[in-house]
Chains A and B, each alone.
Chain A
Amino acid sequence: MLRTETYTVNFGPQHPATHGVFRVMLNLDGERIVKAEPVCGYLHRGVEKLAENRTYQQVIPYTDRLDYLAAGLQNQGYVETIEKLMEIEVPDRAEYLRIITAELSRIASHVLFVGVYALDIGAFTGFLLCFRERERILDLMEELTGSRMTYSYARIGGVAADAPEGWLDRVEKVVNDLPYYFDIYDDLISGNEIFQARTKYVGYLSAESAVDYSLSGPTLRGSGIDYDLRKAKPYSIYDRFNFEVPLGENGDCFDRYFCRILEMRQSVYILQQAIEQIRETDGPIMAKVPKVLKPPKGEAYHEIESSKGILGYYVVSDGSNKPYRVHVRRPSFVNLGFLDEMCRGGLVADLVAILGSIDIVLGEVDC
């Protein structure tokens, strides 16, 4: 009797479509995927363990290295956790500066996603095109923080430095230009028939399983679940802004991709409002915090909506100047949990489209 046999193929760890060093063990039946088992840990640096040997302030630069594509959000999540633990009130101006860096980081991360996703699908032009806008945002961040990617800008109780002169005007200019670029993405990438053929009805993720696997971020919202922490549980000062939470319908790769494009447009609205409001907000950028931070014994968990999903920090304090334990709930890592079921029955080429649509960053997956 004629029968087919499955065989195993390693996808990665050294494969450009895995966005870093990530390995998927594929069980294939011909070109069809029977099982896809993610293997991670190639970029493990032990950030959580390193944090136990650093003072509370010294942990900030390490959080940059988790999701290095949106470092502003990572910093914000960590410092807000410590502020929750110590019950520190942050001055308004610092909050606005944090929101501006966070939303700029979100756009920078999503813009890169659009480019890299186009590259995954096979369009090299899209990749280089998107770097142009990202560069403009990185230039702004460099001017504010001194670094292009690892900002280390937020501080416990505020931010490191106030905006330099004229910076807000330049941000405003870039922010107002951005929708024009998003239109170009829509024309060049989203509307492209080849791109749609590769991504529509591929990697289906039902709303129920997305919730069951505790997925978050655009991966979850692409399946039509309206859950964005900025709206659902407003942290920081997000309750002061008007914006919408874009949702997908079909839960396929295209919806997850398109959700991010729409999300960037919402970020532009938030930024426009934030710039308007910060102009009327003067004052200090740091709360009064002691030089040596010794939070009271206890623990705190705080989560924010990062560009990839829900980013949570869990910090335990034993009363000394170093954290007893730091744990990070990394959205990229949790979102990967559903990879196997999304891939089953698909083609090998679909795996690239699916993995790209989850938008993982290996620094965050392996921590």
Chain B
Amino acid sequence: MFGKGLVKGLNVTWKEFWSKKFTVQYPDEQHTKPPRFHGKFQLNSDACIACGLCANACPNGVIKIESEKVNKKKYLTKYVMNIQYCLFCGMCVEACNKGALRFTQEHDMSQYFYKDIPLVFVDREAPKPDPETENKEKDDDKSKKAGKAPEKEGQ
């Protein structure tokens, strides 16, 4: 009989009309994101040993690392991620065996200006290789970084 399918379809519509709503009013409400979510990156610059494994693992050359030798140890002076080229594949996070680089749940990374896109995690001078002043310099660095952090994140 012609029209049987249409009636069946309307029946579905009628049932769905009374079912639970599942849309989320986005900016006000948000879905919770799973722990593995590939969001914005976070670098623990104290744990990072500037080994460059993450930069080598990246297929798109997103990560730029600079380091200097201080007291026979590598000192990270620059860590920049040009995330406009990032595929969010997670190869870098997987490659880091110090657990220094990780994903966060944050997902809104869009910016108004192109220059604000790169994530500048570390941009600092290497301390003088004098053992006495080294500790003091490090503390200075830390406080400097703490003050600057919000501005650099570009929020």
Give the interface of A toward B (CB within 8 A): 54, 57-62, 64, 125, 129, 132, 142-147, 150, 152, 160-161, 164, 184, 187-189, 191-194, 196
Contacts and interface: CB of A to CB of B under 8 A. Distances in A.
B104 to A, nearest CB: 11
Given A60-B89, A132-B22, A146 B9 contact: no
Interface stretch (B33-41, B43-51, B128-136, B138-146): B33-41
Q: Which of B2, B34, B91 has the largest number of chain A CB atoms within 10 A? A: B34
A146 B104 CA distance: 11
B123 interface: no
14 contacts: A54-B59, A57-B91, A61-B59, A64-B87, A125-B13, A146-B34, A147-B38, A147-B90, A152-B87, A152-B89, A152-B91, A184-B12, A188-B13, A193-B3
Nearest to A59: B59
B5 A160 contact: no
Contacts of A58: 57-59, 91
A146 B5 CA distance: 41
The 7 nearest A-B residue pairs measured at CB: A58-B59, A61-B89, A191-B5, A146-B36, A146-B38, A143-B34, A152-B89
Nearest to B10: A188
Contacts of A188: 8-9, 12-13
Nearest to A123: B9
Given A60-B89, A61-B59, A152-B89, 7 more contacts: A54-B59, A152-B87, A152-B91, A164-B35, A164-B36, A188-B12, A194-B6
A188 B123 CA distance: 59
B12 A147 contact: no
Contacts of B12: 184, 187-188
Given A57-B91, A58-B57, A184-B12, A193 B37 contact: no
Interface in B52-74: 57-59
A146 B37 contact: yes
Contacts of A132: 22
Nearest to B3: A193
Contacts of B16: 129
Contacts of A61: 59, 87, 89, 91
B11 interface: yes
Most chain A C-beta atoms within 10 Å of own C-beta, residue among B4, B34, B88, B89: B89
Contacts of B36: 142-146, 161, 164
A191 B1 CA distance: 12
